[in-house]
Amino acid sequence: MRKIGIYYAFWTHEWVADFLPFVPKVKKLGYDILEVHSGILADWTESKRLELAKAAKDEGIQLSYGLGCSAEYDVSSPDERIRQNGLRYMTSLIQAVGRMGGGVIQGSTYCAWPKKLEVGESKQQYVDQSFKSMKELAKVAEDSNVIVNMEILNRFEQFIFNTVAEALPFVSAIDSPNLGLLLDTFHMNIEEDSFYQAIIQAGKYMKGLHCGETNRKPVGMGRMPWKEIREALDSIQFDGQIIQEPFVMFGGQVGQDISVWREVIENPDLDKLASDSAAFMRRVLVV
């Protein structure tokens, strides 16, 4: 059965946070998975990471690890020094998650976020550098019981892959069971002609789904075609994680980075919104 999750930053204004209190919270609100910021996790001590893993196991909650990779760790960089720095960073992160029991690392695992192609730069050079890196990191993931998902991002946040059609030759050429595609309804709404066809095209390489409404409200509060999305997931027999990433609060680094310039929902009861959305997700996307 598909499992549903939510990103901790729905409740925070800053990326840096103690993830431990969110473990029982998301369980109580009806979720199976808590997605945390793996970049923050990388700065933790080994004992603190293992404490989080134990807390999640004791609560019956899975952990997922989101990543918005900063420029200094860009494994797609034409600057070989930066690429190698990124390889060291990603290798260390994958192995750390492996020691926590394994799981999924997903997001801009293959590139920097956010990043625009500068005038005169070669997009293909970034693609080629990323390919070399991900081919190597896929082997690290295989040895660590970790799935590394590459998120297909919209044109305003990245340029390497904006559609499934762009990403498919890349991931199929590497063809590792531990390297997959992460589709996200927010980005798909901007870039794909059809939710259904994009999911069908991704097929076996789709190993995760991020979701939210078109304006990043919680799932069930907008106009996303969830029935169409569900039909496509069923067609490819998708059994990966479905994790929502709602952002409704103005302020802090989270609001700045996600471009939330107003209170999307006035005086929100975040826990109730999350609980109602979990019930909707389970009813519409799972059961």
Is 51 assigned a catalytic role? no
Q: Which among 35, 151, 192, 213 is annotated as catalytic?
A: 151
Is 121 assigned a catalytic role? no
Q: Which among 191, 192, 213, 245 is annotated as catalytic?
A: 245
CA torsion sign for 260, 262, 263, 265 is negative
**Residues assigned a catalytic role:** 151, 245
